[in-house]
A and B are shown apart, each in its own frame.
Chain A
Amino acid sequence: MHSFFQSLLPGPIVTDGAWGTQLQAQGLAAGECPDGWNLTQPARVETVARAYVEAGSQVILTNTFGANRLRLAAHGLGDQVAAINRAGAQISRRAAGSRARVFASIGPSGRMLALGETDEAELREVFAEQANALAAEGVDALLLETFSDLNEIRPALEAAKATGLPVVVSLLFDSGSARDRTMMGTTPEQAVAALVEAGADVFGANCGRGIDGYIPICRRLRAATDRPLWIKPNAGLPELVAGRAVYRTSPEQFAARVPDLIAAGATFVGGCCGTSPAFVAAMVRRLNSEGSK
């Protein structure tokens, strides 16, 4: 395991929450490229980053989830990969200061290998381009998040590790009758087996479901590996109420289950879709009160 994590362990470490909905609250339009805001609206992106630091996040991410060449190309920003990623890293580092670490977000390419929409060689190039730009700005670690396909993770992990930075790999388990597999049919155990071999420093899962469903997933990950675990559930599932997406889980309800998640083996705990700085604050309060027991 990368020596970097020794300084953070044993945990638990509070990460951050959703960025998409926070950016929308700052005025990001539906269909607008969030990553592009690193260049066009950096102050608003920094507002989101600072809000998480203020709420108590010990690790914040970067607004670079979709900032790979393939996804940016769809917005006409394919030639801005380095600029967007570097700006995203700079913004988060400014906001984090000395209070929080910065893990840079790398999301899937948006192309399906199985449909022949890309190939491993292209993915290696594309992820290397993004990882190198992020690493150049001095982020603390790289996070591959919301991935479903081991065949896509492999080139991404290769590119990430080539930077020398620690790497977190987080998958989306939302399929199968028990909703414990990725879309491609991979179980937590299969993922751990493949990714330990490929050198991931931290494993985890994010998105897809609320915190209750994450407890058994976390237990299975913990049974499969001794590495630190990264968990980021959604705030439940959204409902459309009067034209707006409403997540039914409150910050307090979410935070109430965090001790169970930690007991199940989680090291890094945060939230994904539907969460906010209020969720982080509630988690911090909850963990502080647990700590004083």
Chain B
Amino acid sequence: MNDFGKLREAVLAGDSAGAVAAARLALDDGADPLDLVLNGISPAMSEVGRLFEAGDYFVPELLISARATKDVFTVIRPLLAKQGAQPTGRVVLGTVQGDLHDIGKNLVAALLEGGGFEVIDLGVNVSPEKFIAAVEGRKAQIVGLSALLTTTLPAMKSTIDAFRSAGVRDRVKVMIGGAPVTQSFADAIGADGYGENAASSVPLARRLVGL
């Protein structure tokens, strides 16, 4: 039984070529692609996130690990599709109205893609209506709201309220993040999840889609 140790090591080291090679070897050895995601990629990404939160990994490490897993997904996605396995999930991302900062959001996009999600990035200064249209149009399971400015936090509340007024609040999970955001703020405005940093977006998104 494959323990995917080499794959996990390569992801942690941000070694794209090594990760793809380890994945191919495992698959040739008879590993199940879904098993490879759940027991190879996923724990490796969680460890990367933990190291980032501990202040041992920084943005560069996050990005090269995410690129390694993204490259592995390129290999296994067709196999997962053939098996009838659903894509991990579809996430609409954007920085809320009035806010133009996007570095955090862009990091989250890269990490979610590395985690096997399909990401629809709406950019910055996104109105509630635009979020709703994207979620409905692309049938996304999750919408991620980002803000860097304390003054644009109220726009997160208005966005969630707009989903409610449009009658589609229960069709999507809302996760929020950004420097001024806190768990208590997330609870107060009725978000489904709060990510303390970019790396926490991946386990959070997985939890929100029920994985």
A244 at the interface (CB under 8 A from B): yes
Supposing A31-B97, A110-B102 touch, asked if A184 and B59 sit within 8 A by C-beta, the answer is: yes
Whether A30 lies near B58 (C-beta < 8 A) is no
Give the number of chain A interface residues (Cβ < 8 Å). 22
Whether B99 lies near A31 (C-beta < 8 A) is yes
- Complex Cα spacing A240 to B147, Å: 13
Name the contact of A243 in the complex, choosing from B58, B103, B154, B185 (C-beta under 8 A).
Answer: B154
Whether A240 lies near B150 (C-beta < 8 A) is yes
Name the contact of A244 in the complex, choosing from B63, B125, B151 (C-beta under 8 A).
Answer: B151
- Complex Cα spacing A31 to B56, Å: 34
Whether A112 lies near B55 (C-beta < 8 A) is no
Whether A115 lies near B106 (C-beta < 8 A) is yes
A136 at the interface (CB under 8 A from B): no
Whether A31 lies near B55 (C-beta < 8 A) is no
Interface mask (B83-113 → A, CB under 8 Å = 1, otherwise 0): 0000000000000011110110011001000
Whether A30 lies near B98 (C-beta < 8 A) is yes
Q: Looking at the assembled complex, report how far the CB atom of A139 sits from the nearest CB atom of chain B, in whole angstroms.
A: 25
Q: Is the interface of A mostly helix, strand, loop or mixed?
A: loop
Whether B102 lies near A184 (C-beta < 8 A) is no
Interface mask (A89-116 → B, CB under 8 Å = 1, otherwise 0): 0000000000000000000001010110
Whether A31 lies near B98 (C-beta < 8 A) is yes
Q: Which residues of B contact A110 (CB under 8 A)?
A: 102-103
B124 at the interface (CB under 8 A from A): yes
- Complex Cα spacing A183 to B98, Å: 24
A11 at the interface (CB under 8 A from B): no
Supposing A31-B97, A240-B180 touch, asked if A112 and B103 sit within 8 A by C-beta, the answer is: yes
A181 at the interface (CB under 8 A from B): yes
- Complex Cα spacing A48 to B100, Å: 22
Q: Which residues of B contact A30 (CB under 8 A)?
A: 98-99, 149, 151-152
Q: Which A residues, 151 to 183, have Cβ-Cβ distances below 8 Å to chain B?
A: 175-178, 181, 183
B153 at the interface (CB under 8 A from A): yes
Question: Nearest CB to that of A274 among chain B residues?
Answer: B150
B60 at the interface (CB under 8 A from A): yes
Q: Which residues of B contact A117 (CB under 8 A)?
A: 106
Interface mask (A15-32 → B, CB under 8 Å = 1, otherwise 0): 000000000000000110
Q: Which residues of A contact B81 (CB under 8 A)?
A: none
B54 at the interface (CB under 8 A from A): yes
Q: Which B residues, 45 to 90, have Cβ-Cβ distances below 8 Å to chain A?
A: 54-56, 58-61, 63
Q: Looking at the assembled complex, report how far the CB atom of B39 sits from the nearest CB atom of chain A, in whole angstroms.
A: 28
Q: Which residues of B contact A114 (CB under 8 A)?
A: 59-60, 63
Q: Which residues of B contact A176 (CB under 8 A)?
A: 55, 58
Question: Nearest CB to that of A176 among chain B residues?
Answer: B55
Q: Which residues of A contact B110 (CB under 8 A)?
A: 115
Q: Which residues of B contact A43 (CB under 8 A)?
A: none
Q: Looking at the assembled complex, report how far the CB atom of A77 sits from the nearest CB atom of chain B, in whole angstroms.
A: 13
Whether A245 lies near B151 (C-beta < 8 A) is yes
Whether B58 lies near A184 (C-beta < 8 A) is yes
Whether B106 lies near A175 (C-beta < 8 A) is no
Q: Which residues of A contact B154 (CB under 8 A)?
A: 240, 243
Q: Which residues of A contact B180 (CB under 8 A)?
A: 238, 240
A121 at the interface (CB under 8 A from B): no
15 contacts between A and B (CB under 8 A): A30-B149, A30-B151, A31-B100, A114-B59, A115-B63, A115-B107, A117-B106, A175-B55, A183-B59, A185-B58, A185-B60, A240-B153, A240-B154, A240-B180, A244-B151
Query: Residues on B close to A: CB < 8 A?
Result: 54-56, 58-61, 63, 97-100, 102-103, 106-107, 110, 124-125, 149-154, 180, 185
